[in-house]
Structure 1
Amino acid sequence: LSLLVDSQSHKAKWQEAQAQHSIALHCQSDKERKIAQQEQETPRNASMNIFRFLGDMSHLFSIIVLLLRLRVARNAQGISVRSHELFLCVFVTRYLDLFFRFYSIYNSVMKIIYIGSTASIIYTIKYKEPIKSTYDKSQDTFLHWRFAVAPCAIIAFATHMIAKGMKGFDAIELLWMFSIYLEAIAILPQLIVLQRYKEVENLTGNYIFFMGAYRALYILNWIYRANTEKGYKHHWVVYFCGVLQTLLYADFFYYYIKAKARGNRLQLPQVT
């Protein structure tokens, strides 16, 4: 009888130990799953550092400068609506997660500012007098839907399908990839418009400069994060598009800095 009692006691202790071990494994599994989910839901380039902050502020300042230029000068000469239509496509497709994911107040506010201000710029130039009458459509002729949006959509779809396949298809991921490709060339219509004028108005030149500085600072942000964050995930497509976007500004940067150093008005090589 004593042996039977001891046996049952050992069995009960063994079952209790197994149950506790199972609970511990379950808790650990849940913890790991939550960590993995948090990492997956962490927005790309969300880690804040001085380079990212300065890049965001440069981008924000470029928008403020352009809105100020429209308000003060009351004309849209030298401004490309088509570039801003491309940027609006970039922001809308990239920030769709604004409606179902929350990362931080800073993140959400910046997304809303980018979308709202770009839409406001387009509306002001296309529909608000007297600015509307000063917008020169004959200079803003880049076929952006055909030569920017369509190719970027095709490339984004192709690269997404190659990387993920049908089983891994993710519409949000696809739209994000599309926005990365499109942003790389969205400034092209604006640069073409500027080169069709002999001189560039001061505030317009400042606007373009800060737009270019924003992306250059983001490249420094990626370099900094790659060297300081453990397990930092590299996005080679993002790197390529960021460098391409910055290179498009290189010629403008040269003439802008040259003009500022000499105290002259900004002049670009004129094209027809």
Structure 2
Amino acid sequence: MFNGFRLAGDFLHLSSFVFLLIQFRTAQSCSGISLKSQELYLLVFLTRYMDIFFNFISLYNTIMKLLFISATMYVIYMMRVELKDPTKEPHGTKISAALCGCSLLLALLYNDHNPYGPMWRKFVELAWTFSIYLEAVALVPQMEVLNRAKVVKNLTANYLFALGAYRVFYLLNYGYRFMVDPMFSSREVLIKALGAVVQSALYVRFFMMYLESKQKTGVNADVVMNLKGIV
């Protein structure tokens, strides 16, 4: 169901890619951005949108799905191939594997699939649930990178702010749909809300610390901060 919360969330999400690509182009570097987080986000979109070719909802919905997938792939391409200087993440692979494993386990334990539906449908719904849980924690490698760097660039902060705002509007979207859409099951809204709340909490905590540090360093300066309270 389309509404203003969904529209605002989608365009904030798209704007996050714009901030990221501007940073890459202006600095000719992807320093401070976690490649592992971007790869996790790609996995999120690929598993969430597995139904893109057989479950048509609207042209807008299909275009947005393709945009999120293609934009994330392009970001990864720039980091791996064009810029060739991804930030070193000594524990990135282990962290990503742990996040994927925990998300999969949680998806197996609590999901919204129909036990009487066809096997392929169960798989798609399980993948969708996995993507919700994984997106909630996909930011962890990025926070680890910022914690190691100690410096948050202005464009990086704008990128994270857009992502955080997108999740807040999606959380409002879930609440609105639950109230007006009879097809929106309580289990589905609980899964979505749980993921959105966990992810939003990470962003809120980050920006509280960011704004405190920003007051000390000045409006236009990159921010030096300690993120040990987050990751």
| Superposition TM-score, scaled by structure 2 size | 0.86
1:150 corresponds to which of 101, 112, 120: 101
Amino acid at match of 1:153: L
Measured in 2, the distance between the counterparts of 1:119 and 1:125 equals 10
Residues 182-191 or 259-268, more deviating: 259-268
> Secondary structure of the equivalent of 1:83?
helix
Q: 1:104 to 1:166 in 2, by over 3 A?
A: closer
CA offset digits 1:166-223 (Å, max 9, x no partner): 8765111111111111111011100111121222111111001111111011111222
Q: Which residue of 2 aligns with 1:196?
A: 148
- Structure 1 unaligned spans of 5+: 1-46
- Determine the structure 1 residue equivalent to 2:6: 52
Aligned-pair distance for 1:231?
6.1
Q: 1:250 aligns with which of 204, 208, 221?
A: 204
| RMSD, aligned CA | 2.5
Which aligned pairs between 1:7-18 and structure 2 lie closer than 5 A?
none
Equivalence map 1:52-201=2 (5 Å): 52-128=6-82, 131-132=83-84, 134-138=85-89, 141=92, 143-160=94-111, 164-165=114-115, 169=119, 170-201=122-153
Deviations 1:136-157 (CA, angstroms, capped at 9, x unpaired): 3246635244211122122212
Structure 2: distance between partners of 1:139 and 1:200? 19
1:266 aligns with 2:220: no
> For structure 1, which segment, 256-265 or 207-216, has the greater mean C-alpha deviation from structure 2 after superposition?
256-265
Call closer, same or farther: CA 1:92–1:260 in 2, change over 3 Å.
Answer: farther
After alignment, is 227-236 or 198-207 more displaced?
227-236
**What does 1:202-241 correspond to in 2, within 5 Å?**
202-229=154-181, 232-234=184-186, 235-241=189-195
Identity of aligned residues (%): 36
Q: Give secondary structure in 2 for the equivalent of 1:98.
A: coil
Q: Structure 1 length normalisation: TM-score?
A: 0.74
> CA 1:267/1:92 → structure 2, altered by over 3 Å: closer, same or farther?
same
SS in 2 for 1:96: coil
Contact 2:36 2:96 (8 Å CA) reproduced: no
Deviation of 1:67 after TM superposition, in Å, equals 1.2
**CA apart distance, 1:80:** 0.3
Q: Deviations over 1:74-111 (max 9, x none)?
A: 00110100001100000001111112222111111110
Of the structure 1 ranges 53-62 and 231-240, higher mean CA displacement relative to structure 2 is found in 231-240
Bigger radius of gyration among the two: 1
Higher relative contact order, structure no. (Cα contacts within 8 Å, ≥ 6 residues apart): 2
In the alignment of these two chains, the number of paired residues is 222
> Residues 49-94 of structure 1, C-alpha deviation per residue, up to 9 Å, x if partnerless?
1111111111010011101111111001101000011000000011
Cα drift, residue 230 of structure 1: 5.2
Query: Which letter maps to 2:33?
Result: I
